[in-house]
Chain A
Amino acid sequence: MALEEIVEHCQNLYDDLDFSSVIRWKNAASGRKVIGHMPVYVPRELIHAAGMLPVGILGGGDQLDVIHGDAYYQSYICRIPRSTIELAVTGRLDVLDGMLFPSTCDVIRNLSGMWQLKFQDKFVRYVDVPQDFDLDVGGAFYTRELQQLRDDLAELSGNEITDEALNASISLYNENRQAISELYAYRSAQPWQAPTPEVYLLMRAGMLLPVDEHTSLIHDYIAAAKAIKRPVRDNCRVVVNGLFCEQPPLGLLKSIEMAGCYIVDDDFMLVARWLLKDVPTNGDPLRNLSHAFINYSVETSCKYVPTREAKGKFLIDSVRNSHAEGVIFSSPSFCDPALLDRPMLQKALTAQGISYTAFKFAENSGQMQPIREQAGTFADSIKLWSAA
Chain B
Amino acid sequence: MNTAATDTADVQKEESMILQKAMISANYDALSTAHEEGKKISSTFVPGNLNELLMCFDFVRNLPEINALQAGMRKKSGGYIMEAERSGHSEDVCTYVKTDLGMMSKGQVGPNGKPLPTPDLLLLSYTGCFTFMKWFELVRDQYDCETAMLHVPYQADGKITENMRHFVVTQLKEHVIPTLERVSGVKFDIDRLREYLRESAKAEDDLVWVLQSAKNRPSPIDAYFGGVYYCGPIFTAFRGTRETTDYYRSLRVEVEDRLAKGLGPVTPEGTLEEERIRLVVEGPPNWTHFRDFWKMFYDEGVVVVASSYTKVGGVYDFGFRHDPDNPLETLADYCLGCYTNHSLPSRVDMLCNYMDEYQADGFLVNSIKSCNSFSAGQLLMLREIEERTGKPAGFIETDLVDPRYFSSANVKNRLESYFQMIEQKKARGQDRTAA
Interface size on A, residues (CB 8 A): 58
* B134: interface (CB < 8 Å): yes
B149 touches A306 (CB 8 A): yes
A308 touches B376 (CB 8 A): no
Q: Which of A336-372 contact B (CB under 8 A)?
A: 336-337, 339-344, 346-347, 360
Chain B, residue nearest A344 (CB): B141
Given contacts A106-B372, A336-B130, contact A118 B380 (CB under 8 A): yes
Please, what's the 1-or-0 string for A144-186, where 1 marks a CB less than 8 Å from any CB in chain B? 1100100000000000000000000000000000000000000
Q: Which of B150-176 contact A (CB under 8 A)?
A: 151, 153-154, 156-157, 161, 163, 166-167, 170-171, 174-175
A105 touches B130 (CB 8 A): yes
A113 touches B397 (CB 8 A): no
B379 touches A308 (CB 8 A): no
Q: Which residues of B contact A116 (CB under 8 A)?
A: 343-345
Stretch at the interface among B64-72, B87-95, B196-204, B271-279: B87-95
Q: How distant is A78 from chain B, measured CB to nearest CB, in Å? A: 9
Q: How distant is B90 from chain A, measured CB to nearest CB, in Å? A: 4
A344 touches B149 (CB 8 A): no
B171 touches A117 (CB 8 A): no
Q: Which of B337-352 contact A (CB under 8 A)?
A: 343-345, 347-348
Q: Which residues of B contact A72 (CB under 8 A)?
A: 377, 379-380
* A77: interface (CB < 8 Å): yes
Q: Which residues of A contact B369 (CB under 8 A)?
A: 74, 76
B90, B94, B171, B375: the one contacting A74 at CB < 8 Å is B375
Q: Which residues of A contact B94 (CB under 8 A)?
A: 336, 340
B135, B174, B343, B384: the one contacting A112 at CB < 8 Å is B343
Q: Which residues of B contact A128 (CB under 8 A)?
A: 153-154, 156
B130 touches A337 (CB 8 A): yes
* B126: interface (CB < 8 Å): yes
* A321: interface (CB < 8 Å): no
Chain B, residue nearest A71 (CB): B379
Chain A, residue nearest B140 (CB): A308
B171 touches A77 (CB 8 A): no
* A249: interface (CB < 8 Å): no
B343 touches A76 (CB 8 A): no
A77 touches B348 (CB 8 A): no
Separation of A107 and B371 alpha carbons in the complex (Å): 10
B138, B175, B344, B375: the one contacting A117 at CB < 8 Å is B344
Q: How many A-B residue pairs have CB under 8 A?
A: 159
* B15: interface (CB < 8 Å): no
Separation of A148 and B161 alpha carbons in the complex (Å): 11
A137, A331, A347: the one contacting B175 at CB < 8 Å is A137
* A17: interface (CB < 8 Å): no
* A322: interface (CB < 8 Å): no
Could you say which of A112, A118, A336, A344 has the most chain B C-beta atoms within 10 Å of its C-beta? A336
Q: Which of A121-159 contact B (CB under 8 A)?
A: 125-126, 128, 130-132, 134, 136-138, 140-141, 144-145, 148
Please, what's the 1-or-0 string for B378-402, where 1 marks a CB less than 8 Å from any CB in chain A? 1110001000000000000100000
Q: Which residues of A contact B147 (CB under 8 A)?
A: 308
Chain A, residue nearest B377 (CB): A110
Chain B, residue nearest A339 (CB): B90
B170 touches A343 (CB 8 A): no
B375 touches A111 (CB 8 A): no
Given contacts A128-B154, A132-B171, contact A304 B92 (CB under 8 A): no
Chain A, residue nearest B134 (CB): A340
* A109: interface (CB < 8 Å): yes
B134, B163, B344, B384: the one contacting A110 at CB < 8 Å is B344
Q: Which residues of B contact A112 (CB under 8 A)?
A: 156, 343-344
B93 touches A311 (CB 8 A): no
Chain A, residue nearest B94 (CB): A336
* A73: interface (CB < 8 Å): yes
* B191: interface (CB < 8 Å): no
Q: Which residues of B contact A74 (CB under 8 A)?
A: 367, 369, 375, 378-379, 397
B372 touches A336 (CB 8 A): yes
Q: Which residues of B contact A107 (CB under 8 A)?
A: 372, 376
* B137: interface (CB < 8 Å): yes
B135 touches A340 (CB 8 A): yes
Q: Which residues of B contact A117 (CB under 8 A)?
A: 344-345, 348, 380, 384
Q: Which residues of A contact B12 (CB under 8 A)?
A: none
B134, B141, B157, B163: the one contacting A337 at CB < 8 Å is B134
B377 touches A130 (CB 8 A): no
Q: Which residues of A contact B378 (CB under 8 A)?
A: 74
* B55: interface (CB < 8 Å): no
Separation of A340 and B84 alpha carbons in the complex (Å): 11
* B133: interface (CB < 8 Å): yes
* B373: interface (CB < 8 Å): yes
* A290: interface (CB < 8 Å): no
B376 touches A141 (CB 8 A): no
Given contacts A106-B129, A340-B134, A343-B89, contact A137 B380 (CB under 8 A): no
Q: Which of B293-346 contact A (CB under 8 A)?
A: 343-345
A344 touches B166 (CB 8 A): no
Q: Which residues of A contact B156 (CB under 8 A)?
A: 101, 109, 112-113, 125-126, 128
A109 touches B154 (CB 8 A): yes
* A114: interface (CB < 8 Å): yes
Q: Which residues of B contact A73 (CB under 8 A)?
A: 376, 379
Q: Which residues of A contact B223 (CB under 8 A)?
A: none
Separation of A112 and B344 alpha carbons in the complex (Å): 8
Separation of A333 and B375 alpha carbons in the complex (Å): 16
Separation of A141 and B141 alpha carbons in the complex (Å): 28
Separation of A128 and B174 alpha carbons in the complex (Å): 20
* B97: interface (CB < 8 Å): yes
Q: Which residues of B contact A114 (CB under 8 A)?
A: 344, 377, 380
Chain B, residue nearest A340 (CB): B134
Separation of A313 and B319 alpha carbons in the complex (Å): 46
Q: How distant is B400 from chain A, measured CB to nearest CB, in Å? A: 13
Chain A, residue nearest B369 (CB): A76
Given contacts A131-B126, A137-B174, contact A339 B92 (CB under 8 A): yes
* B181: interface (CB < 8 Å): no
Separation of A364 and B264 alpha carbons in the complex (Å): 51
A106 touches B344 (CB 8 A): no
B131 touches A336 (CB 8 A): yes
Separation of A137 and B377 alpha carbons in the complex (Å): 32
* A250: interface (CB < 8 Å): no
Q: How distant is A89 from chain B, measured CB to nearest CB, in Å? A: 11
* B356: interface (CB < 8 Å): no
* A382: interface (CB < 8 Å): no
* A81: interface (CB < 8 Å): yes
9 contacts between A and B (CB under 8 A): A76-B92, A109-B156, A112-B343, A113-B344, A118-B380, A134-B174, A137-B175, A302-B130, A340-B97
4 A-B pairs with least C-beta separation: A113-B344, A126-B156, A340-B134, A141-B167
Q: What residues make up the interface of B, taking CB atoms closer than 8 Å to A?
A: 87-90, 92-94, 97, 126, 129-131, 133-135, 137-138, 140-141, 144, 147, 149, 151, 153-154, 156-157, 161, 163, 166-167, 170-171, 174-175, 343-345, 347-348, 367, 369, 372-373, 375-380, 384, 397
